[in-house]
Amino acid sequence: MDYRAPTRDMRFVLTELLDYQAVTDLPAFSEVSDDLVAAVLEEAARFTGNVLAPLNKTGDQEGCRWKDGEVTTPKGFVDAYAQYVENGWNSLPCPPEYDGQGLPASLATAVQEMLNAANMSFALGPLLTAGAIEAINNHGSDAQKTTYLPKLVSGEWTGTMNLTEPQAGSDLAQVRSRAQREGDHYLVQGQKIFITWGEHDCTENIIHLVLARTPDAPPGVKGISLFIVPKFLVNRDGSLGKRNDVRCVSIEHKLGIHGSPTCTMAYGDEGGAVGYLVGEEGKGLAYMFTMMNEARHKVGLQGLAIADRAYQQALWYASDRIQGKPLVRKDEEKSIIGHPDVRRLLMTMKSGAEAMRALAYYAAYHMDLAHHHGDDAERRRSQARVDLLIPIVKGWSTELGVELASLGVQVHGGMGFVEETGAAQHYRDARITTIYEGTTAIQANDLIGRKTHRDQGAAMKALVAEFRDDQRSLEQAGGDLAGMAEPLGRALDALEQAAAYVANTHGEEPADTAAASVPYLMLAGFAAGGALMARSAVKAAEAMKAGDSDAAFYEAKIISARFYADHLLPRAVASLPAVQGGGRWTNALTVEQFRHQ
């Protein structure tokens, strides 16, 4: 089943839903225009549709192979990766100082969605490389930047993030890997697990970023430093030198993303891997956090991407499969898309994906403003918005993505359970997204603590205030749109109450707030998605009124928003009792009572 990037909706979100002129007016993006946006999207759609998408299923079936420390990616990946580098896709949002194209994060976000929808396993390589670029660019020395960034930016080398160890997953304070200084470098020893693209055959070098402890470091997070550990050391002239003492000792047998090698990496089995300290000792975790926003945003995008891919697969099947008597548009539709419940499944996927897209791009738009706006207060305002939204984009979009990929299976009936059909792959692949880059609970913990309690809910209040404008726009628009105002208003009421609960309890009753955290995050996601769908509908109605020729698209957007208001938005209100119930029932059982059944 092919993938065709939803460029029309991407353009709609970027240049019609968002006030995109605020981005293109920024000096950093003086060359960006609506035409450029459209051109990049079309070009990316061609590449992802023609080159990456066809490798998704074969990559799943074939998987990666490990032998004697070498990893072979599925057939076609090496060549596709070469094209990816050659066409400049990797450098799109990267800093121009290191040969990046410096395009807006918001535009890169759309391309990122395409890469992940076309082939999530493939896209994970560049996703990790981007993290390495971010870490080195923000915290590395000039020499490190000069040595590593150009080839990471071009994609000629890839990067990895080595955080997890068997005893240190969500809790990185438990990291045990060690790094001992030796002259101008360190010798790194330890084992890292779940290292995405830790070893592969697509590039000649791999730049590992590794968390480890120096010998006299304090325990806990403050003793952790960040090191650059290249697979091959890099000579002064940029040529590759000695093979470093790091090996991939095995890869995981996973539920999904079979095309992405998940590696166990052994550092220093032969005495110590040469590593170079990034920034200062003891600040490794802080450095990691600065790049987490972006990585979490991208994993949130994966939730959206896999949902849209599953939608396209389901839509294709539903338009092709003939079974039973259609009830809708009986004369024109012979296939099962004439069955209302098939439509309900497809509409849930479609409207859910559109809401996730609106929210993720909206967050990326504020990233651009936060990084490049000339006014300090504007930058801060946008950064606060980004900080608030990241855990919601990551948590909500991945949870919803898993659910929508499952609906894609359902559209196929029995064929959905047969692996050859392809729907099941999305269901399997999607399942990792709520786990890596911080589980949904970790996102929710961030949302209740740093993002809601710390400012006593101010950032959330500002967001809700903005969404109240959308509610008012619906009321003023009248007609079909007015019917959304009340459900949106109730969702926003619930969001306010939930945020207040969190702000009030967090300090004093942390176990209650923690119990409420994921329901609060999901509430916020469904409400924010609803507000942006409402805004989309208002913009669509305006475009239709102005006589835009693309009336069919705008009409569909309004219908999609109305569907969302009936089918998805009510979940926001439904989450409130779980928030306000706090930990009262969640935290009550003894372990023995959990077992006694």
Which listed range, 1-9, 296-304, 458-466, 532-540, lies at the site for a second copy (CB under 8 A)? 1-9
126 to 50, 93, 194, 375: CA distances (angstroms) = 18, 12, 16, 32
CA distance 231 to 229: 7
Choose, by CB under 8 A, the member of 432, 498, 527, 534 that binds a second copy: 432
Residue 362 phi, psi dihedral angles, 5° rounding: -60, -45
Residue 226 phi, psi dihedral angles, 5° rounding: -115, 135
Name the minimum Å distance from CB 587 to a second copy: 5
Question: What does the block give as tokens for 540?
Answer: 């669509």
CA distance 222 to 561: 47
Residue closer to a second copy by CB (options 19, 419) is: 419
Nearest to 355 by CA among 546, 531, 583: 531
CA distance 7 to 114: 9
Q: Of residues 345-374, which lie at the interface with a second copy (CB under 8 A)?
A: 346-347, 350
Residue closer to a second copy by CB (options 231, 490) is: 490
591 is a site residue for a second copy (CB under 8 A) = yes
Choose, by CB under 8 A, the member of 90, 214, 440, 471 that binds a second copy: 440
Which listed range, 39-47, 77-85, 273-281, 337-345, lies at the site for a second copy (CB under 8 A)? 337-345
571 is a site residue for a second copy (CB under 8 A) = yes
Which listed range, 117-125, 148-156, 167-175, 179-187, lies at the site for a second copy (CB under 8 A)? 167-175
CA distance 524 to 458: 14
How many Cβ atoms from other residues are within 10 Å of residue 282's Cβ?
17
Q: Are strands 70-72 and 65-67 parallel, antiparallel or unpaired?
A: antiparallel
Angle between helices 551-567 and 340-372 (to 10 degrees): 100
263 is a site residue for a second copy (CB under 8 A) = no
Name the minimum Å distance from CB 291 to a second copy: 19
Choose, by CB under 8 A, the member of 144, 452, 517, 536 that binds a second copy: 517
169 is a site residue for a second copy (CB under 8 A) = yes
Q: Report yes or no: 440 and 391 within 8 Å, Cβ to Cβ.
A: no
Which listed range, 75-83, 101-109, 499-507, 568-576, lies at the site for a second copy (CB under 8 A)? 568-576
Which listed range, 34-42, 43-51, 114-122, 315-323, lies at the site for a second copy (CB under 8 A)? 315-323
Name the minimum Å distance from CB 165 to a second copy: 11
Which listed range, 122-130, 439-447, 466-474, 496-504, lies at the site for a second copy (CB under 8 A)? 439-447
**Three-state SS annotation for 9-52:** HHHHHHHHHCCCHHHHCCHHHCCCCHHHHHHHHHHHHHHHHHHH
Q: Are strands 206-213 and 158-162 parallel, antiparallel or unpaired?
A: parallel
Choose, by CB under 8 A, the member of 181, 242, 417, 465 that binds a second copy: 417
Question: What does the block give as tokens for 507?
Answer: 């300090």
Choose, by CB under 8 A, the member of 1, 6, 29, 91 that binds a second copy: 6
Residue closer to a second copy by CB (options 39, 322) is: 322
Q: Of residues 39-68, which lie at the interface with a second copy (CB under 8 A)?
A: none
Residue closer to a second copy by CB (options 136, 442) is: 442
Residue 437 known to be catalytic? yes
Choose, by CB under 8 A, the member of 65, 75, 243, 329 that binds a second copy: 329
Q: Of residues 521-540, which lie at the interface with a second copy (CB under 8 A)?
A: none
Residue closer to a second copy by CB (options 241, 478) is: 478
477 is a site residue for a second copy (CB under 8 A) = no
CA distance 520 to 572: 9
Residue closer to a second copy by CB (options 117, 135) is: 117
SS3 274: strand
Residue closer to a second copy by CB (options 445, 473) is: 445
Choose, by CB under 8 A, the member of 82, 233, 286, 559 that binds a second copy: 559
CA distance 333 to 592: 56
Choose, by CB under 8 A, the member of 71, 127, 518, 540 that binds a second copy: 518
Residue 88 phi, psi dihedral angles, 5° rounding: 80, 15
Choose, by CB under 8 A, the member of 81, 84, 157, 194 that binds a second copy: 194
577 is a site residue for a second copy (CB under 8 A) = yes
How many residues touch a second copy under the rule CB under 8 A: the total is 106
Q: Report yes or no: 519 and 575 within 8 Å, Cβ to Cβ.
A: yes
Q: Of residues 537-556, which lie at the interface with a second copy (CB under 8 A)?
A: 552-553, 555-556
If residue 325 lies in a helix (H) or strand (E), which one and from where to where?
none
324 is a site residue for a second copy (CB under 8 A) = yes
Residue 158's DSSP bridge partners are: 206
Residue closer to a second copy by CB (options 149, 349) is: 349
Which listed range, 39-47, 242-250, 427-435, 539-547, lies at the site for a second copy (CB under 8 A)? 427-435
Set 437, 475, 509, 592: catalytic member:
437
Nearest to 502 by CA among 443, 462, 444, 568: 444
Angle between helices 376-411 and 284-320 (to 10 degrees): 40
For residue 54, give every residue at least 6 positions away whose Cβ sits within 8 Å of its Cβ, in sequence order, or none. Answer: 2, 76
344 is a site residue for a second copy (CB under 8 A) = yes
Burial grade of 547 (CB within 10 A; 0-12, 13-18, 19 or more): exposed
Q: Tell me the catalytic residues.
A: 437
